[in-house]
Structure 1
Amino acid sequence: MPNAPDTPRRLTVEPNGPVLIEGPVEIVREDGTTVTSDRFLVAVCTCRRSRAYPWCDTSHRRRTKPPGAGRN
């Protein structure tokens, strides 16, 4: 699914979140397989916590430390 040369893809990097890509998209995984989405906006996981990886399922939100955690 190559991009049309006259239509660049827009990616938005969310702080502490996924990369949002205007779709449709095709992702080549580490093992060489591909996954595709024809949605108009796709959230790609950057933390690798998603159960639906490479798609973001917001798992990163559930695994954050509460404020002040780890302080003595």
Structure 2
Amino acid sequence: MTSPDEAGRQERPEQPDVILCADGPMLVRGDHVVQDADGGLHRTTRPISAICRCGKSGVPPWCDATHKVIPRRSA
């Protein structure tokens, strides 16, 4: 017999942890699928994935650190 806590975990899909880096990528931890701008789905195999938020990456949807050479917008 499973405990109520175990049963609850089995019913809920695991949600990834998301961290937004200031002027940088979105870091996603956990099992997840990323949808790109064209609707393509990409299942990740890494424990942590960096997803581009600036739109200038050469390998979308992944971050390639291009954001570091883009002039920042003033607040």
Give the TM-score taking structure 1 as reference length.
0.71
Across the aligned residues of Structure 1 and Structure 2, the Cα RMSD in angstroms comes to: 1.9
How much has 1:23 moved relative to structure 2?
3.1
Q: Does 1:17 align with 2:20?
A: no
The answer for unaligned runs of 5 or more in structure 1 is 66-72
Q: Does 1:48 align with 2:55?
A: yes
Using the alignment, how far apart are the partners of 1:53 and 1:62 within structure 2? 17
CA 1:8/1:32 → structure 2, altered by over 3 Å: closer, same or farther? closer
Q: Percent identity?
A: 26
How much has 1:27 moved relative to structure 2?
1.3
The answer for unaligned runs of 5 or more in structure 2 is 1-10
Where does structure 1 differ by over 4 angstroms across 4 or more consecutive aligned residues?
Answer: none
Equivalent residue number for residue 7 of structure 1: 14
If each structure's helix is expressed as a fraction of its own residues, which one has the higher value?
Answer: 2
CA 1:32/1:7 → structure 2, altered by over 3 Å: closer, same or farther? closer
Which has the greater radius of gyration?
2
Give the TM-score taking structure 2 as reference length.
0.68
Q: Decide which of 41, 58, 70 is 1:63's aligned counterpart.
A: 70
